[in-house]
C-alpha cells in the first residue's frame, strides 16, 4: 500500500534542484529517507511528510555522509535543504 503522504505528490517546475555538492548530498539523504524524488532545496521537511523519527534517520545519515556531527535541532530550525546547507557551512 502506498504511503498516504506521497500519494499525489509531484515535482513542480518551481522546484530548485541542488546547486552544490553539499546540497546534493543532503538531497540524496532526504530522498532516500522520505521516499520521494526529486526534492527541491526549498521544499520543507515537514511538508514532505517528515517527522521526528525521520529527522533522526536523516541526521544520522547526513552526519555520516558529510563527516561531521549535526544536531536534530538544526533540522527542526532549518527545515529546507537550502537553509540547512547554509547553517552547516557557516
Give the domain range for residue 49.
Answer: 21-89
Q: What is the pTM of this model?
A: 0.83
What average pLDDT does this structure show over 5-21?
Answer: 68
The CA-based angle 43-61-47, given to 5 degrees, is: 20
Is residue 85 domain-resident? yes
What phi, psi does 14 have (nearest 5°)?
A: -80, -10
Q: Does residue 8 belong to any structural domain of this protein?
A: no
* pLDDT tens by residue, 35-87: 999 999 999 999 999 999 999 999 999 999 999 999 999 999 999 999 999 99
pLDDT of residue 90: 87
61-to-12, 33, 43, 54, 57 alpha-carbon distances in Å: 26, 9, 19, 11, 6
Of 90 and 54, which is predicted with more confidence?
54
In a domain, 81, yes or no: yes
Task: Please indicate, yes or no, if residue 49 is contained in any of the structural domains.
Answer: yes
The count of structural domains within the chain is 1
- 32 in Cβ contact with 67 (< 8 Å): no
Amino acid at each position: 500500500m502506498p504511503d498516504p503522504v506521497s500519494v499525489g505528490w509531484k515535482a513542480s517546475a518551481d522546484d530548485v534542484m541542488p546547486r552544490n555538492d553539499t546540497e546534493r548530498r543532503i538531497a540524496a539523504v532526504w530522498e532516500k529517507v522520505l521516499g520521494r524524488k526529486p526534492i527541491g532545496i526549498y521544499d520543507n521537511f515537514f511538508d514532505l511528510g517528515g517527522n521526528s523519527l525521520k529527522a533522526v534517520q536523516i541526521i544520522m545519515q547526513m552526519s555520516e555522509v558529510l563527516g561531521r556531527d549535526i544536531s536534530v535541532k538544526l533540522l527542526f530550525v532549518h527545515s529546507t535543504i537550502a537553509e540547512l546547507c547554509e547553517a552547516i557551512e557557516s
